[in-house]
Amino acid sequence: MLAAAVDGLAWSFGVTLAIALRFEFVMDARGWIATIVLAVVAGVIQVIVGYATTLYRGRFTYGSFDEVRAVALIVILEAVFLSLIVIPLGPVIGVPRGTLLLAFPFVLLLMFGVRYMSRLLIDRARKPGEDAEPALIIGAGFLGDKLLANITTDPASPIRAVGLLDDDPAKRNLRLRGVPVVGTTRDIAAAAQSTRAKLAVIAIPNADSMLLRTLSDRAAAAGLRVAITPTLATLTSGEESVTDVRDISIEDLIGRHPVDTNVELIAGYVTGRRVLVTGAGGSIGSELCRQLAKYGPSELIMVDRDETGLQVAQLGTSGHGLLDTNDVVLADIRDVETLDQLFDERRPEVVFHAAALKHLPMLEQYPDEAWKTNVIGTLNVINAARRVGVTTFVNISTDKAANPTSVLGHSKRVAEKLTAWAGEETGMRYLSVRFGNVIGSRGSMLPTFQRLISEGRPITVTHPEATRYFMTIPEACQLVVQAGGIGRAGEVLILDMGEPVSILEVAKRMIAMSGKNVEIVFTGLRRGEKLHEELVGSRENLERPFHPKVSHTRADVITPERLDKAGWEARMMSIPRDNDTAIIEPIRLDATENTQ
pLDDT in tens, 391-412: 999 999 999 999 999 999 999 9
Average pLDDT, consecutive stretches of 10 residues, N- to C-terminus, the chain (596 residues): 87 86 75 84 90 86 86 90 84 78 86 88 80 95 92 89 96 93 96 96 90 94 94 74 87 76 79 97 95 95 97 95 96 98 98 96 96 98 98 96 94 97 97 90 85 92 92 88 92 90 92 89 89 91 89 95 94 66 46 43
Q: Are the C-beta atoms of residues 310 and 300 closer than 8 Å to each other?
A: no
DSSP string across 162-190 = EEEE---GGGTT-EETTEEEEE-GGGHHH
Tell me how far CA of residue 387 lies from CA of 380, 392, 394, in angstroms. Answer: 11, 13, 16
Can you name the CATH fold of 263-436+471-497+535-574?
Answer: Rossmann fold (3.40.50)
Instruction: Quote the CA–CA distance of 328 and 330 in Å, as a whole number.
Output: 7
Give the burial string for 332-343 (b: 16+ CB within 10 Å, else e). bbeebebbeebb
The number of angstroms, rounded, from the C-alpha of 562 to the middle of its chain's C-alpha atoms is 45
Q: In a 3-state reduction of DSSP, which class is residue 300?
A: strand
pLDDT in tens, 449-463: 999 999 999 999 999
Residue 261's pLDDT is 65
Instruction: Quote the CA–CA distance of 73 and 81 in Å, as a whole number.
Output: 12
Residue 444's pLDDT is 82
Residue 442's pLDDT is 75
Residue 502's pLDDT is 93
What percent of the chain clears pLDDT 70, i.e. is strictly above it? 95
Tell me how far CA of residue 37 lies from CA of 16, 33, 41, 189, in angstroms. Answer: 10, 6, 6, 65
pLDDT in tens, 404-440: 999 999 999 999 999 999 999 999 999 999 988 888 7
Can you name the CATH fold of 133-248?
Answer: Rossmann fold (3.40.50)
Instruction: Quote the CA–CA distance of 72 and 60 in Å, as a whole number.
Output: 14
Residue 589's pLDDT is 47
**pTM of the prediction?**
0.77
Tell me how far CA of residue 578 lies from CA of 186, 189, 466, in angstroms. Answer: 45, 47, 15
Q: Are the C-beta atoms of residues 306 and 280 closer than 8 Å to each other?
A: no
Residue 586's pLDDT is 47
Strand partners of residue 302: 277, 328
- Residue 439, C-beta contacts closer than 8 angstroms, at least 6 positions apart: 250, 251, 254, 255, 446, 470, 471, 472, 473
Where do runs of H (alpha helix) occur along 271-406?
283-293, 307-318, 336-346, 360-365, 367-370, 378-388
Residue 65's pLDDT is 86
Residue intervals of the chain classified under CATH 3.40.50.720 are: 133-248, 263-436+471-497+535-574
DSSP string across 321-347 = ----STTEEE--TT-HHHHHHHHHHH-
Residue 584's pLDDT is 47
Compute φ and ψ for 28, nearest 5 degrees: -80, 180
Give ∠ CA 47-53-59 in degrees, rounded to 5.
Answer: 105
